[in-house]
Amino acid sequence: MPKTEPHRPLNRFPEIVADPMLWSTRLAVWASLFTVVLSMAACALPPYKPEVGDVLAPQQAAPATRHSRWRPRTIEPDDSPVDKTDAAAVGRALVDPKKEYGLADLVDLGLRANPATRSAWEQARAAAAGLGMAEAAWLPVLTAKANAGYGQQTEAVFLFRGFTTTPSLGLSWTLFDFGRPAKIDQAAQRLVAADFNFNRTHQKVAYEVQRAYFAYVATQAEIDAAEATVRQTEKNAVSVRAQLANGLATRPEWLLAVQDKAKADYELQAARGKLSHSRAELAESLGITPDIELKVARIEALPLPETIEPTADGLIDQALSQRPDLSARLAELRAREAEIRKAEAAFWPTVSLNAKAGSTIFDYQYLSGPAPLPNNIRAGYLDYGAGISFEWNLFEGWASTNAVRQATAKRGEAQAEFDALQLQIIKDVWKSYADVKTALRKREFAIALLQAAEQSYYALKASYANGLSTVIELLTAERNLSSARDTEIESRTALLQAAAALVYASGDSNDRQ
């Protein structure tokens, strides 16, 4: 009789018991794998923001009490690739300190440096990318996937462990989708609206630069007028002092002349302080900082309009036909109409082509089982297929119906906004046209007033020197002349600003402004 061996329990991990070094090596592998998984999980969490607080406890970043001021936490340096543009550096790079900038030069500088034009430009570029994304629906989608893992499995009495890899390549192509043309049309109209808004932003920047420039050079003219008034008051004080020395004037009259000079000095300093504010406004409209040296041409170099050739109705028709913001609103209205067609397409089915090609590759090592154990498995198989899918949502709880209703309501909202903008354009052109007509008439009277005030002052000055007029009459004439100078400057500035407002309201192009 053959000799039998005593029964021993099945050891499912014989190689681990037999080889302690293998056991420690696999522990190290598992520890490394666990560390990698934890690191990936940490990367998947939202980043910690010092100014907000811990993402797992956001309530700690809220104000502690209702009566204490909230204070942000210490913000650490951020190394993220954010474009932190230095406005001062950009302005200094664009401004030539030796050049004298006229109105056209300032408008060009504003279009280059003002962040508003850059923002509108980026919006248009984003809309163009949106159109490209919508047009991508005509093309197939090719996807590559790969899954890899290490695991242990039990099949009957066999226990094995090893690696599994499943790379695959998938193709999905929507052949028929009734909403696809509407999506592309909507994106195209949004791009048109962004382009027109970009043009209107150019016009707005140019208009704001003109307004700021007219205010700035008007303040310079006011300083010149105030300095002329100071010189006149000095001469008046000298004249009254001479009359006082000759016994032809009284001390109170001389004190009135001194008082008038002090008032003129005060008004000069006020005008100089106003110039700093005007300079800051001009710098803001240009998109630069006020500390940048900028030479600006005087207002005397600007030609003044004498008449308005177009009629108010003609300018209104011109504005309604060429205002970029109105064209943008019209494009938005058409985009809303495309939204209706896209919502209605949900009632129809879609047909798609799907294909897949992949494989499963595995490398397993048997750990236990009935002796003798089979060889390790190193094999793989191919998995592929193709087909056409048909999808038709027959009932969605009336979601598609409500989507059409929502899109129709938004289209009505866009139509109302378009009509409201038309009324606003008509009002703006009408008011600007009336302002220009009024400014032209006021300009004529301002010039006549200045001429009369100059003649009156010099006549009274000669009369006072001959002892035929009083100090009160002389100082009154001098004050009237100073006021007439301010009125002439104001009328000139008002006419230029009214003309610029009319061009802006009518939507004329920047190259003709």
223 and 304 in contact (C-beta within 8 Å)? no
Beta-strand relationship, 158-177 and 295-296: unpaired
* pLDDT value for 62: 75
Per-residue pLDDT tens digits for 234-281 = 888 888 888 888 877 788 888 888 888 899 999 999 999 999 999 999
Contacts 24+ apart (CB under 8 A), 185-188: 185/334, 185/335, 185/338, 185/341, 186/134, 186/335, 186/338, 186/339, 186/342, 187/127, 187/130, 187/131, 187/133, 187/134, 187/135, 188/131, 188/134
Per-residue pLDDT tens digits for 426-454 = 999 999 999 999 999 999 999 999 999 99
For residue 447, count other CB atoms closer than 10 A to its CB: 15
Q: Largest Cα–Cα distance in the chain?
A: 164
What is the pTM for the complete model shown? 0.78
| 352-362 per-residue burial string, b: 16 or more CB within 10 A, e: under 16 | beebbebeeeb
What secondary structure letter does DSSP report for 300? Answer: G
363: β partners? 163, 378
353 and 391 in contact (C-beta within 8 Å)? no
Q: Which residues of the chain have pLDDT under 70?
A: 1-58, 72-88, 157, 301, 369, 373-374, 509-513
* pLDDT value for 6: 42
Cβ-based burial of 102 (10 A; exposed 0-12, middle 13-18, buried ≥19): middle
CA distance 265 to 278: 20
CA distance 138 to 177: 9
CATH 3.30.1280.10 fits 86-139+177-350+399-512, yes or no: no
Q: Per DSSP, which regions of 302-346 are E strands?
A: none
Cβ-based burial of 37 (10 A; exposed 0-12, middle 13-18, buried ≥19): exposed
